[in-house]
Amino acid sequence: MNFLRNLLASILGTLFAFGILFFMFLILASLAGMEEGVRVKKNSVLELQLPDPISEYTGSDASDPFAGLFQKQMGLQEVLHAIQVAKKDDNIRGISINSTFLMAGVSQTRAIRNALKDFRESGKFVYAYSDFFLQKDYYLASVADSVYVNPVGAVDFRGLSAEVLFFKGLQEKSGVKMEVVRHGKYKSAVEPFLADEMSASNREQISGLIQSLWTTISQDIGEARQLATDDLNRIADTLGGRTPEYALRAGLVDGILYEDQYEARIKKASGIGEEADQPYVALEDYLKLSRNKKIYEGTDKIAVIYAQGEMLYGEGGPDFIGQGIINEALAKAREDSNVKAIVLRINSPGGSALTSELIWRELERTREVKPLVVSMGDVTASAGYYIASAADKIYAEPTTITGSIGVFAIVPNIHELAGNIGINAEQVSTHANSVEYSLFEPVSDNFRKVATESIEDTYQTFLERVAKGRNMSIASVDSIAQGRVWSGADALEIGLVDETGGIDDAIAAAASLAGTDQFSIRNYPRYKSGFAQLMEDLGESGSQQQERVLESGMGTQLYAVYRELKGVLRQEGIQARLPFILNIK
């Protein structure tokens, strides 16, 4: 028996060793390929394909040989930088947009669109082509000099809609209930657990939000395509892009072409012969080259700190904001004599009220030493806006989702389910409040009273933070708070932001406040190196593997519902977050 056990162990050990050697061979081969560098031939066209999710910032280091090797995301900051580099690259004649199923937010899409608009001002061309355009893909493509669609394709142009899921019926059938305490008539993150349908106030805020977003989108498209807003609304109402012929007649596209015909147009714009091969460079490859190119030059530094994801108590990382990594970055930038000003780039639906207060305090300390400007991404709501309010100046895109000044607490309760399946929980205590809360018992009046006091205290603190930062009275903040969300354009009108613009505008404002016009950028925080992340992925836990299997088996939409419910159960403490999980289509 021992012999067989030792033999089996030897075989498994040998196979494992061969596996490691094979894997290391693949890594070395990849690194060898990277060492050859990216070669951009004369008259090249940059292919703008965005097949992966767009994050705000990947934290990749140009000196890290593994940077981007196994990266499944592109950072918005990297994409914008690459387009800026391409604008000055004499070997790049133009850009071809060929992206379908764009996985980016509306404000991220607009930022890329504005970078392409700036690229065109250099005299270089931007063309766009697709077999079919989804609405967000078309929004990006509409900035091009010419837009083409496949003869059997379509342009999905129908306006915006938003969907909110409600779970009250599920609670009643399952016996699992979410107990809720909230402040703010618009604070409807918890509404799906209290009702079967949308409240009038929630419908009002969502309707106002998507209408404001659509106004910006339609204005941008109308300016580029020379179409009136009324005409675009008519096209959306009649699905006027549902066939290539309709899209051409409506002015959404400039031509109906097969891909080879589109490539002939690219060659003509590039100035090469019809028989010559058109040199292309993929954005994924160009990112490797552009990382080493600087747009900003100067000995002075502007620190750009990225805070992205849900706000949770703890260290934080690429996917969620924790006070650990953000406060450490703020301290480094604050204490660096070369850093003259700081830009905090926020893309967050909010989260832990405690975490936001801890970050707010560090921002207050930083603001006393150096100018602090906030740049908002797709969403900077609730706890995200809490920390934004500490800035000297706030920039938002017109399509940024912001505000949501309100708080709530939510705890699961399975008393009814436990009774149905024969579970009874008994408690023994030394004091009246020793058992703060039990999952198996109905919520007591005393617990609800104490929770309500905490919610009201947190909401009042939230109002005070915003009032101080925005130089407004508490009453004025309260009148536009109550958990309501606003678009960046509307937030400008009510005083929650100072200017509409992107991250470059915020950087320019920070430099101006610091009194410098010759500066370079220093990005924070630094996440784990490519190699460290790779080793962590190899050691992926069984639960993470289960998540991947679930997503594959359930499909994207059902898995999103599962993640939403799981996220609610994960929430701890008082929450200040976006009042709904919004799926804009």
Q: What is the pLDDT of residues 250-265, one digit of tens each?
A: 999 999 999 999 999 9
> What's the pLDDT band for 209 if we cut at 50, 70, 90?
very high
Question: What gap in Å lies between CA 372 and CA 391, rounded to an integer?
Answer: 5
Task: Kindly tell me if the per-residue pLDDT of 135 is higher than 90.
Answer: yes
pLDDT value at 315 more than 90: yes
pLDDT at res. 39: 87
Name the residue with tokens 């949770």.
Answer: 312
Q: Which residues of 167-182 are buried (b: 16+ CB within 10 A; e: fewer)?
A: bbeebeeeebbbbbbb
What is the pLDDT at residue 483?
85
- Taking only the tens place, the pLDDT of each residue in 404-416 is 998 888 888 999 9
DSSP secondary structure letter of residue 192: G
29 CB neighbour count, 10 Å cutoff? 10
Are 240 and 247 in contact, with CB atoms under 8 Å apart? yes
pLDDT at 432: 84
For residue 49, the model assigns a pLDDT of: 95
**pLDDT at 26 exceeding the cut of 60:** no
Number of other residues whose CB lies within 10 A of the CB of residue 68? 21
pLDDT, average across residues 413-434? 90
Question: What pLDDT is recorded for position 268?
Answer: 95
**CB contact set of 35 (below 8 Å; sequence gap of 6+):** none
Can you give the pLDDT at residue 18?
56
pTM: 0.85
| Cα–Cα distance for residue pair 411/570, rounded to 1 Å | 9
Mean pLDDT within 439-462? 90
Report pLDDT for 536.
56
Mean pLDDT of 348-356: 94
pLDDT at position 239 over 50: yes
Location of structure tokens 């009108």: 493
Res 63 pLDDT > 90: no
Residue-level length of the chain: 585
Decide if 187 is catalytic.
yes
pLDDT at 410: 84
Mean pLDDT of the chain: 86
Q: Does residue 292 carry a pLDDT above 50?
A: yes
Question: What is the per-residue pLDDT across 83-120, written as a single tens digit (0 to 9) for each?
Answer: 999 999 999 999 999 988 899 999 999 999 999 999 99
What's the pLDDT score for residue 522?
Answer: 95
CATH of range 44-158+239-290; options 3.20.180.10, 3.40.50.2300, 3.90.226.10, 3.40.50.300: 3.90.226.10
Please check whether the two domains, 44-158+239-290 and 300-426+433-584, share a CATH topology.
yes
Helix (H) or strand (E) run with residue 326 in it: helix 323-335
Collapsed DSSP state (helix, strand, coil) of residue 402: strand
Percent of the chain with pLDDT over 70: 81
DSSP annotation string for 18-41? HHHHHHHHHHHHHHHHHHT-----
Picking from 255, 211, 218, the residue whose alpha carbon sits closest to that of residue 236 is 218
**How many Å apart are CA 373 and CA 510, to the nearest integer?**
6
Distance (Å, whole) CA 359 – CA 369 = 16
Residue 35 confidence class, pLDDT cut points 50, 70, 90: very low
pLDDT of residue 29: 47
Evaluate if residue 345 carries a pLDDT over 80. Answer: yes
Taking only the tens place, the pLDDT of each residue in 144-183 is: 999 999 999 999 999 999 988 899 999 999 999 988 888 7
β partners of residue 524: 305
What's the start-to-end Cα distance of the chain, in Å? 62
Query: Is the backbone peptide bond immediately before 525 cis, with ω within 30 degrees of 0?
Result: yes
Rounded CA-CA distance 162/585 in Å is 6
Catalytic residue status for 541: no
- Give the fold, CATH level 3, of 300-426+433-584: 2-enoyl-CoA Hydratase; Chain A, domain 1 (3.90.226)
The mean pLDDT of 196-225, rounded to a whole number, is 95
129 strand-pairing partners: 148
Query: Given the DSSP bridges, would you call strands 177-183 and 407-413 parallel, antiparallel or unpaired?
Result: antiparallel
CB atoms within 10 A of CB 455: 22
Q: How confident is the model at residue 190 (pLDDT cuts 50, 70, 90)?
A: confident
Exactly one of 87, 124, 177, 187 is catalytic; name it.
187
- Checking if the pLDDT of 32 tops 50, the result is no
Query: Cα 175 vs. chain centroid, distance in angstroms?
Result: 35
What residue spans define the domains of the chain?
A: 44-158+239-290, 300-426+433-584
Determine what percent of the chain falls in helix, strand and coil, rounding each to the nearest 5. 45, 20, 35
Question: pLDDT by residue (tens digit) across 363-374?
Answer: 999 999 999 999
State how far the Cα of 62 lies from the Cα of 290, in Å rounded to an integer: 9
Q: Which residue out of 60, 356, 382, 389 is catalytically annotated? A: 382
